[in-house]
Structure 1
Amino acid sequence: MRETSVEEFTIGVEEEYQIVNAETRELRSRASRILPEARQAVGEHVQPELYLSQIEIGTPICQTLAEVRAELVRLRGEVIAAAERDGHRIAAAGTHPFSHWEEQQLTPKARYVGIAQDYQQLAREQLIFGCHVHVGISDREAAIQIMNRARPWLAVLLALSANSPFWLGSDTGYNSFRTEVWRRWPMAGTPHVFDSRAEFDRLVESLVQTESIEDGTKIYWDVRPSARFETLEFRVTDVCPTVDEAVLVAGLARALARTCHAEAASGKEIEHARPELLRAAKWRAARYGLDADLIDVATERAVPAAELVEKFLAHLRPALEEHEEWQEISALAHQVVARGNGARRQREAYMKAERYEDVVDFIIEETKPGSGPV
C-alpha cells in the first residue's frame, strides 16, 4: 500500500431531508417544485432522492471541519428557504414519525424506477433518511484496508447518530428504526474483510455478472469504496437533526479513516471480528442507541454506551489532536452523550403532549442552521 498524503483526507457530506407540510406536518411530494428553487442558490449541491417527499444536499469537497460546518449551514439554509417559499418545511430525521410509505410518490428518474422494479416492497417501504460521509482516499488499496479496520467501530457511529424512533405513528422501541428498514436489502449491512482491492473488484464483477446488481453503486454497505469518487463512504448513520451532530459524525468518520490508515501503514493486524458479533453490535446500537450497554467488539463484552464512546474517542485522539480537531469533536460527542441522541430527544418532545405533530415541529426547529448546540 503506497503512502496516502494527509491532504487526501477531504470530507464531503450528503444529507437526506424530509419535505413536510407546514399545517398537517405530513410528508409532501414537493421536490419537483422545491428542487429548482433551491438550485438557483446552490446548483447541483441539491439533488432528488427516491421519493418526491425527499431532497438531498451534498457539500462541496471540504478540507476542514469549519468548512463542513459552513457548507451545511449554507445548504440547509437555502433548502429550508426554498421549501418555505413553497409553503413547506424541511426536517432532518431518519424516519418521519407518522407519514405512511403508501402515500409517497416515486421520483420519475430511470435509476429510481429501476430500483422500484427490482426491489418491489423493499423499495416501497424505503421511506428513510440517512447521512453519508465521503472521506477522500485516492489509493484504491488503502481504501480497502481502511474499510477492513473501520468495521468494529461503525456501531458507535450509529448509536451517536440514531434519530429514527417512530414509524407509521408508533414508537418502534428502536433508536434507529431506519437501520432495521435498511437491513433487509440484499446489498446492505457490514462488509466482510477483503485481502485486497482486487478481491473487492472481483466481487463487484461477480455481482454484476450474475445480474445481482447493475453496477457498484448498488452496493449499499455501511462503509464502502465509492463507485463514483475516490472516496471511502461511511453510510451507517441516520441523518442528524442538528448541524453540530452532522459535524460530529463527519469528524469522527474522517478521524477513523486516518486512524485505520495509520494502523495499516504500520502493519498492525486486522481485528477479525466475527460477522455475527458485528451484526449483534449494530443491532444493539440501533435498538438502544446510547441508553443501554453496547457491544465492545474487541473485548467481546457488553459495556455502558458512554464507556464505549470514550474508548472510541481515545482510539481516535491521536488523529484528532494531530489535526487540531480534538477539542471540538470530543466536546460535541460528550454533549450528545449528556443530552441524548436525536432519538431520545424526539421521545422527550413526544412525551410533553403525546402528539406526533409536536415531534415534527421539534425536528423542524432542530434542523434549522441556527438551532444552537446539542
Structure 2
Amino acid sequence: MRTFGVEEELLLVDPETGVPQAVSGAVIRYAREHGEQVPVPNGKDTFETEMQREQLETGTRPCTSLDELAEQIRAGRAAAAQAAAGVDAAVVALATSPVEVRPSLTPKRRYRMMADAYGVTADEQLTCGCHVHVNISSPDEGVGVLDRIRPWLPPLLALSANSPFWQGRDTGYDSWRQRVWDRWPSSGPTEPFEDAKTYRATVDALLETGVLLDEGMIYFDARLSRHYPTVEIRVADVCLDADDTALMAALVRALVDTAADEWRAGLPPDPVRTELLRLAMWRASRSGMREELVHPVTRHAAPARTVVEALLEHVRPALERSGDLDTVLRLLDALWERGNGATRQRASYERAENVHDVVTDAIRASAPR
C-alpha cells in the first residue's frame, strides 16, 4: 500500500477567552526544552511555525495503515496541546479565528518579503488547512494523478469545511478559509499537465513572471511535493475532529490509488474546464454539507450526500484493497450524524451567541479522544 501522511495547521489561543495568541515561538521552545514530556510523534525535532505567530503546524510520519495514521494525528494534537499549555495557551483545530484578530507575522525573512509583496493578502492570512501527502512512484505518475483527481477535490472541501466565522461574524460560508486562501495568485485548480516535463515547465514559467517569490508559493489545490516523493492535496480545512482528518486522508489515498490505476491503464483524464472546477470549489466553500454541490460527473447541482456517495463509489475498489472501506463508512456515518466543523461551530454560537464560546467549545472538540 502507498504510504501517506498529514500536516495539520492549528490555531494558538487563550484557553479562557479564545483570543488568538502570538506564541508559536514560545510553544516550540517549550517543546524542545521538555522533549520527554512533550514527545513529538513525527520524528522531527519539534513542531513547525507558519506565516503567523498564532499558528502551529504538526505532522505525521509516513504511515501505511489508516489506524497508524489516525494514532499519529491524535498524538500530534496531544503533544501540541501539551506544549501550548506549557506557555498558558491552547491549540484549537479551527481553520479561521471566530474572534477578531490582527495576526502577527512570524519574524522570518521570507515572510517579511511576502508581506511586502502581497500587502493585505499576507496581512490577513491567518488560516489553517490540512494537507495530505500520498507516496508516488515517479513524477510522471504523480502528474497522472494530479490530472485525474481534479473533479473530486471540491467534495473533500465540503466535508472538511470548518471556517464559517471571520473577524467576529458569520460569513455565510462553511469554508471562508478557502475564499481567503484563494487570494494568492497561484492558488486554485489547474489545467491537466499530461506529464512531469510539462508540469515542471509550467512551474518554471510561473516563477519567471516574478509574481511569485519562490517555488514554495506554488499553491495549487494539488501539487507535486518539492521535498518528498508525494503528491500533496491541499484543499481541506483543518478538521475540528481528529477522526475527520483520518477520513480525509483515507479518501485522498484512495483517490490517488484510483487515479494512478487509470493513468497506468491509459485512461484519459476528465477534460473538465478549470472554470467549472472554480465554480465547484466556490460552491463547496459556500455550502459545505448543508446544501447542493456541483456533481463531479454530471456537472449539475446535486445534494451534498449524493455527491459524497459518488466520491465513495469512485474510490470504493481502492478502499477495499487497502482494507479501509469499513472504517471510512463508519467515519462518514459519524460525520453525517454530527456535522462538519462549520455545523458544529454554528451550533455552539446558537447556544451562547458569543464567538468566544465557539472557540472554547472547539478546544474540547479538537482534543484527541
Give yes or no for TM over 0.5.
Answer: yes
Cα distance, 1:114 vs structure 2? 2.1
What does residue 3 of structure 1 align with?
none
What does residue 236 of structure 2 align with?
237
Cα distance, 1:45 vs structure 2? 4.8
Gaps of 5+ in 2: none
What does residue 55 of structure 2 align with?
54
- C-alpha root-mean-square deviation of aligned residues, in Å? 1.2
| Cα offsets for 1:219-238 (capped at 9, x unmatched) | 00111111121110000000
What does residue 17 of structure 1 align with?
10
Q: Does the CA contact (< 8 Å) of 1:45 and 1:59 recur in 2? A: no
Q: Which amino acid aligns with 2:100?
A: S
The answer on 1:190 being equivalent to 2:189 is: yes
Assess, with a 3 A threshold, how the Cα gap between structure 1 residues 262 and 45 changes in structure 2: closer, same or farther: farther
Counterpart secondary structure, 2:184: coil
What does residue 92 of structure 2 align with?
91
| Cα offsets for 1:136-184 (capped at 9, x unmatched) | 1130001001001101000000000000000001000000000000111
Q: Which amino acid aligns with 1:305?
A: A
Aligned length: 361
What does residue 209 of structure 1 align with?
208
What does residue 147 of structure 1 align with?
146
What does residue 180 of structure 2 align with?
181
Cα distance, 1:333 vs structure 2? 1.6
Counterpart secondary structure, 1:363: helix
What does residue 252 of structure 1 align with?
251
Q: Which amino acid aligns with 1:18?
A: L
What does residue 119 of structure 2 align with?
120
In 2, Cα distance between the equivalents of 1:208 and 1:281? 27
Q: Does the CA contact (< 8 Å) of 1:144 and 1:197 recur in 2? A: yes
What does residue 319 of structure 2 align with?
320
Match of 1:28 among 17, 21, 26: 21
In 2, Cα distance between the equivalents of 1:87 and 1:286? 33
In 2, Cα distance between the equivalents of 1:17 and 1:298? 34
In 2, Cα distance between the equivalents of 1:83 and 1:250? 25
| Cα offsets for 1:192-215 (capped at 9, x unmatched) | 111211111111112222323243
What does residue 272 of structure 2 align with?
273
In 2, Cα distance between the equivalents of 1:127 and 1:71? 25
Q: Which amino acid aligns with 1:308?
A: V
In 2, Cα distance between the equivalents of 1:36 and 1:140? 37
Assess, with a 3 A threshold, how the Cα gap between structure 1 residues 207 and 274 changes in structure 2: closer, same or farther: closer
In 2, Cα distance between the equivalents of 1:297 and 1:306? 13
Q: Does the CA contact (< 8 Å) of 1:192 and 1:275 recur in 2? A: yes
In 1, Cα distance between the equivalents of 2:296 and 2:310? 12
Q: Which amino acid aligns with 2:10?
A: Y
In 2, Cα distance between the equivalents of 1:201 and 1:322? 32
Q: Does the CA contact (< 8 Å) of 1:217 and 1:226 recur in 2? A: no
Cα distance, 1:217 vs structure 2? 1.7
Q: Does the CA contact (< 8 Å) of 1:240 and 1:342 recur in 2? A: yes
What does residue 286 of structure 2 align with?
287
The answer on 1:332 being equivalent to 2:344 is: no
In 1, Cα distance between the equivalents of 2:105 and 2:214? 21
What is the percentage of aligned positions where both structures have the same residue?
Answer: 40
Q: Which amino acid aligns with 1:50?
A: M
What does residue 70 of structure 2 align with?
69
In 2, Cα distance between the equivalents of 1:127 and 1:219? 18
In 1, Cα distance between the equivalents of 2:46 and 2:237? 20
Choose 71-80 or 331-340, whichever is displaced more: 331-340
Q: Does the CA contact (< 8 Å) of 1:131 and 1:238 recur in 2? A: yes
In 2, Cα distance between the equivalents of 1:16 and 1:317? 29
